[in-house]
Copies of this chain bind each other. A is one copy, B any other.
Amino acid sequence: MKDIEIAQQSEMLPIVEVAKKAGLTEDEIEQYGPYKAKIKLPLVQKEKTKQKLILMTAVNPTPAGEGKSTVTVGLGDALSLLGKKTMIALREPSLGPVMGMKGGATGGGYSQVVPMEDINLHFTGDMHALTTANNTLAALVDNHIYQGNKLNIDQRRVIWKRVLDINDRALRNIVIGLGGITQGIPREDGFDITVASEMMAILCLAKDIEDLKKRIGAIVVGYTFDRKPVTVDELGVTGAIALLLKDALKPNLVQTLAHTPAIVHGGPFANIAHGCNSVLATRTALELADYTVTEAGFGADLGAEKFLDIKAPQLGKYPDTIVIVATVRALKMNGGVAKDQLDKEDVEALQRGSENLKRHIKSMKRYGIPVVVAINQFTADTKVELETLKAICATVDTPAVVADVWGQGGKGALELAEVVAKTCEKPVQVQKLYAREDSLEEKITKIVTEIYGGKDVQLSPKALRQLAQFKELGWDKLPVCMAKTQYSLSDDPKALGAPVDFTIHVREFVPKLGAGFIVALTGNVLTMPGLPKVPAAMGMDLASDGTVTGLY
């Protein structure tokens, strides 16, 4: 049975019932249809007990699929089955991959959050509010220049790009303002995907409306002709942009197939953005539940590093346990096996590929947080392979538990849940990767050497010029948000496994003063994806009675 069919055949609880399970009254939520709600903020003080936080991450992804969201949901349901008050906190899917290639992001099989179609399509409109806020600001910037340019903005130095929640390579590099003197000022521009935007990062890092406005006001949209940064506050439109995000800021409540309450809120990609759901969502889950299971995007080199170095300081809470999802298939691919050969047992390839897992185990333990490996079982995995993988984890003193969450839901992750719950009781002594005082270059170097396992960092001439500029502007003490391919620990998507001695190439920095970090674009990473030759859109349909098919 397909994921969407399992989801469509499930019996959902009315969202008010789910809210009640989570400890929320009907007055504390705003319903969006019978099965979705927004949680009103600030929360009335809840009786807290444990506030244990579990961060779900993974090995480097491959086309074989790792199922991080699926294991997140399965583990949440398993903790619920063990009688623990649990909430899940996931990111919102982007329509780009839904219509393109990757599909949705609501888990799979019997470990899904529902209503699957709604979450994967427009959901409660957060993405669209972000797109609108971002592009309204862009229009206001161009209009300011057109209407006399009081702030003396250099149209060649506007850095605020437009966005769409669509994979659209044709919009990466464009020229706007053509057509004559009444049509604006011609300049080079480009669209990013919404989930890569600073607006998304701001929504995901803001603690409340006040913080949201402070961050929006601090956004640098470009520079004057004498190279001074221009902020949104100077443009005088902070209030209007905040207004457009007033509902998007509220966390969304849904449920798993097993009715575990789940918050799905904020959706930055982890390769080109900071990859974690919102601080407000995770904070809300922590306030409501004893165990919060949350995920960070792609491999531990991307999402988890950013969770620990960017999000956790804003959240004021580090994970009690980090779970790394691995599959036999993904590790075999990391060990050099082709996609169509994955069904064959290959212990040697598994051993080679497991170097990737071991690198991630090491880098996560470096933060002083206990690690558990979740082996997400696939049908073709052999007993020997599963045992081999467990044995490999044992060599690095890391518990590894096989879970069948796709086929069995929470029941397939009971052992994992027990190990994780026990691990959460261990004391955590967080060892930060870098100090705020470290320079940008030092920060990047620490990420590259201690997390990626690389040798060093090379900055392009442009990046070097920017470093000097940022030092002058006092921006060089900000955290760094790496934009890097998800497929490899290095910046070369073809270097699978655990490459060594590699150099990370930073081609350009993008300052995001509202988000409070500097993005480092490495290798050939793109902030606007393209569609594949046969986009997923071609297989979708809507029946006359409203039934959706072809979403996955």
Q: Which residues of A are in contact with B by a Cβ distance under 8 Å?
A: 30-34, 38, 95, 99, 121-122, 124-125, 128-129, 131-132, 135-136, 138-140, 142-143, 146-148, 164-179, 182-185, 208-210, 213, 236-237, 239-244, 246-247, 530-533, 535-538, 540-546, 548-551
Q: Give Cα A175–Cα B135 distance, bound, in whole angstroms.
A: 18
Q: Are B546 and A209 in contact (CB under 8 A)?
A: yes
Q: A173-B179, A175-B178 are in contact. List 9 more A-B contacts (CB 8 A).
A: A33-B38, A95-B132, A131-B131, A139-B170, A169-B183, A174-B174, A240-B540, A242-B541, A246-B548
Residues of B within 8 A of A531 (CB): 139-140, 143, 147
A174 to B183, CA, bound (A): 10
Report the minimum CB–CB distance from A132 to chain B (whole Å): 6
A538 and B139: CB pair below 8 A? no
Residue pair A184, B210 in contact (C-beta under 8 Å): no
Check A168–B139 contact: CB distance below 8 A. yes
The answer, among B166, B172, B179, B550, for a CB contact under 8 Å with A136, is: B166
Complex partner residue of A176 from B31, B136, B174, B538, CB under 8 angstroms: B174
Stoichiometry, copies per complex:
2
Enumerate chain B residues within 8 angstroms of A209, measured Cβ to Cβ. Answer: 542-546
Residues of the B chain whose Cβ atoms lie less than 8 Å from the Cβ of A544:
208-210
**Quick one: which of B170, B213, B240, B247 contacts A142, CB cutoff 8 A?**
B170
Tell me the smallest distance from the CB of A174 to a CB of chain B, in Å: 5
Q: How far is the CB of A398 from chain B (nearest CB, A)?
A: 40
Q: How far is the CB of A253 from chain B (nearest CB, A)?
A: 13
Give 21 A-B contacts (CB < 8 Å), ordered by A residue.
A30-B33, A30-B34, A32-B32, A99-B140, A122-B128, A125-B128, A128-B129, A135-B166, A135-B168, A139-B170, A139-B531, A143-B168, A143-B170, A146-B530, A169-B184, A170-B183, A172-B179, A208-B544, A237-B535, A239-B550, A243-B551
Q: Which residue of B lies closest to A183 (CB)?
A: B172
Residues in B whose Cβ lies below 8 Å from that of A550 = 239-240
Q: Which residues of B contact A546 (CB under 8 A)?
A: 209, 246
Instruction: Using CB atoms, name the residue of chain B closest to A241.
Output: B537
By a CB distance below 8 angstroms, the chain B residues around A175 are 174-175, 178
Q: B residues within 8 A CB of A140? A: 99, 531, 535, 537
Question: Does the CB pair B166–A132 fall under 8 Å?
Answer: yes
Q: Are B179 and A183 in contact (CB under 8 A)?
A: no
On whether the beta carbons of A173 and B178 are closer than 8 Å, the reply is yes
Residue of B nearest to A145 (CB): B170
In the complex, chain B residues whose CB is within 8 Å of the CB of A142: 168-170
Minimal beta-carbon separation of A552 from chain B (angstroms): 13
Q: A32-B31, A237-B538 are in contact. Are A170 and B184 (CB under 8 A)?
A: yes
